[in-house]
Structure 1
Amino acid sequence: MTEPSHLAAVRESYDTVAADYARRVPEPAELDPVSRAMLAAFAELTAPLGPVADLGCGPGKVTAHLAALGVPVSGVDVSPRMIELARAAYPELRFTVGSMTALDIADGELGGILAYYSTHHTPPQWLPTVFAEFHRTLAPGGRLMLAGHVGNGEHLRPTRAYGDHPVSYESHLLPPERIAELLHEAGLVVTTRVVQEPEGGGKRQSGTFLAYKPQ
C-alpha cells in the first residue's frame, strides 16, 4: 500500500517538535477529571482482554499511565523521534514506529486500542481506512477509546507549534456525529460519547468515544 501523502507532513512536524512537545504536554495525572475518568474506564475495560495498542502514542506518557493501571499496553507512533523519546523515558515498555493506515498487527490480535488525540491530523477521506484497521486488529469484544478535537468540519493549518517550531500538518475537526457514524460504518459499536467544551483558555471542543468490536 502506498503511504498516504499527509503522513510525511505529520512525521516531519512531530519529529521537529518532539522534545518540546514531550516537555509541554501534560502528564495524565494533570488532565481534567473527565479525561482522567475516561482513561480509567478504558483501563478497567481492557486490562483483562489482552494486548492494547496506544496508537499515536507520542512520547509515551499516556501509554505509561495505562501500564500503571494494569493494562498490557504498547505504543505506536509515526514519528521516529517521538518513539526514541518514549523508549528512553519508559524502557520497560514496547514502542514501535508505525502508521494507523497500515498497522503491523495481526488480525484480531488486540484486546484494545487507544487513539488519544492522534486521529485529527488524518484527512477525512482516510478515516475509513484508519477505522477499518482498528476493526481488523481488534479481537471480537475488543475495546476502542478514541479522543480528540472535534468541530464543525473546519481544517486548521498552523505554521508553528510547541516552542514555535515550524510545522506542516493540518488538523481536521469533524463533528462528533460524523466520527460516530464512521466508527459505525467500520463495524464498531459506539457505547459512550462525551463532548467537552473548552476550559482554561482552550479554543476547541473535544470528544471521547468508547466502542467495541461485536462478537
Structure 2
Amino acid sequence: MAEHDALSPVREAYDAVAPVYADRFADSLRDEPLDRAFLSAFAEISRASGNGRVADLGCGPGYVTAYLDGLGLEVSGVDASPEMIGLARRAYPGLRFDVGSMAALDFDDGVLGGILSRWSIIHTPPPELPAILAEFSRVLAPGGCLLLGFWAGGDASDPARVFDHAVAPAYRWWPDRLAEMLLESGLAEVARMVCEPRPADLRQFQAIHLLVRKDLPV
C-alpha cells in the first residue's frame, strides 16, 4: 500500500511511542459508556447497510478494532505506524491489521459497510483533508457509514486550529465545517455526539463523534 509522504513524520512519531501509547490507552473504552454506545450504534448501522465489512482507520494498537470484532463486525485495522501494527497483530492474532495510509486506501470502490476514524484525522494538514474524506467516500458502499472522532475547535472564519499534541502536530476542527466537507464528499450527517471535557481530562476540548452515511443511489 502506498505511503503518503506527508504522513512520514506522524508515522515516525507514533513508532517511537508505540509501546507506551498501547499501555496507556489499552482500557480507555472501559470508562467511556457514551463512546461504547456510539460504537454500538455504528456497528448496527453498518450491518443494516447489508455489508458488515468495516475498516478501523488509524487503528493504533488495535483495541478498538477488537471491540468492533466483539460487536460482530467483519473488521480490519489500518495504521501508518508499523510499530503500532506490530503491537496490534501480537495482541489480536485473529484479526487483520495492515500498514497503510488514509490518503490511498487498499480497498476497492464501495466495498465497506462502515469506516471508523477515531482521532486519526487530527494529524492531517487541513489542505489535505478533503482528499482523505473523498477517499473514505470512495471505499464506502452506498448506505455505508463513517464514524469520525475529533477534537472541536475553530469557528466559521478559521475552522481548523493547531494544538499542542504530545506525539505529533494536530488540529482541532469546527464541527459544522467538517460536516460540510463530508457532505461535499457525498457523506451526509446522521448524528452528532458532543462530549464536554471533564475536570480531570488532559485536554479541555469538546470531543466530537460525527456519524455520516454515504448517499444511496437515486
Cα gap change, 1:183 to 1:31, in 2 (>3 Å):
farther
In structure 2, the residue matched to 1:98 is 100
**Contact 1:47 1:70 survives alignment (8 Å):** no
Cα deviation 1:23-57 (Å, max 9, x = unaligned): 00142541422111101111111235231000000
Q: How far did 1:201 drift?
A: 2.0
In structure 2, the residue matched to 1:27 is 27
Mean Cα displacement is larger for which, 53-62 or 189-198? 189-198
Correspondence 1:94-173 to 2 at 5 A:
94-152=96-154, 153-158=160-165, 161=166, 167=167, 169-173=168-172
- The amino acid across from 1:123 in the alignment is P
Cα deviation 1:90-121 (Å, max 9, x = unaligned): 00000000000111110011111000111111
- The amino acid across from 1:155 in the alignment is V
In structure 2, the residue matched to 1:85 is 87
TM-score scaled by structure 1?
Answer: 0.91
**Contact 1:151 1:204 survives alignment (8 Å):** yes
d(CA) in 2 for partners of 1:28, 1:208: 16
Cα gap change, 1:212 to 1:3, in 2 (>3 Å):
same
Q: How far did 1:124 drift?
A: 1.0
Percent identity over paired residues: 50
Q: Over the residues paired in the alignment, what is the CA RMSD in angstroms?
A: 1.7
**Contact 1:54 1:73 survives alignment (8 Å):** yes
Residue ranges of structure 2 left out of the alignment (5+ in a row): 155-159
In structure 2, the residue matched to 1:214 is 215
- The amino acid across from 1:127 in the alignment is L
Mean Cα displacement is larger for which, 72-81 or 40-49? 40-49
Correspondence 1:41-52 to 2 at 5 A:
41-48=41-48, 49-52=51-54
d(CA) in 1 for partners of 2:100, 2:4: 13
d(CA) in 2 for partners of 1:92, 1:108: 25
Any runs of at least 4 consecutive aligned residues in structure 1 with deviations exceeding 6 A, and if so which?
none
d(CA) in 1 for partners of 2:213, 2:161: 28
Cα deviation 1:153-203 (Å, max 9, x = unaligned): 320244xx3xxxxx4x21110111111111011111111011111114222
Cα deviation 1:124-143 (Å, max 9, x = unaligned): 11110110001100011111
d(CA) in 1 for partners of 2:69, 2:28: 12
**Contact 1:191 1:210 survives alignment (8 Å):** yes
d(CA) in 2 for partners of 1:97, 1:212: 26
Say which SS state the counterpart of residue 151 (structure 1) adopts: coil
TM-score scaled by structure 2?
Answer: 0.90
Say which SS state the counterpart of residue 76 (structure 1) adopts: strand
In structure 2, the residue matched to 1:164 is none
- Give the length in aligned residue pairs: 207
d(CA) in 1 for partners of 2:193, 2:57: 20
**Contact 1:55 1:76 survives alignment (8 Å):** yes
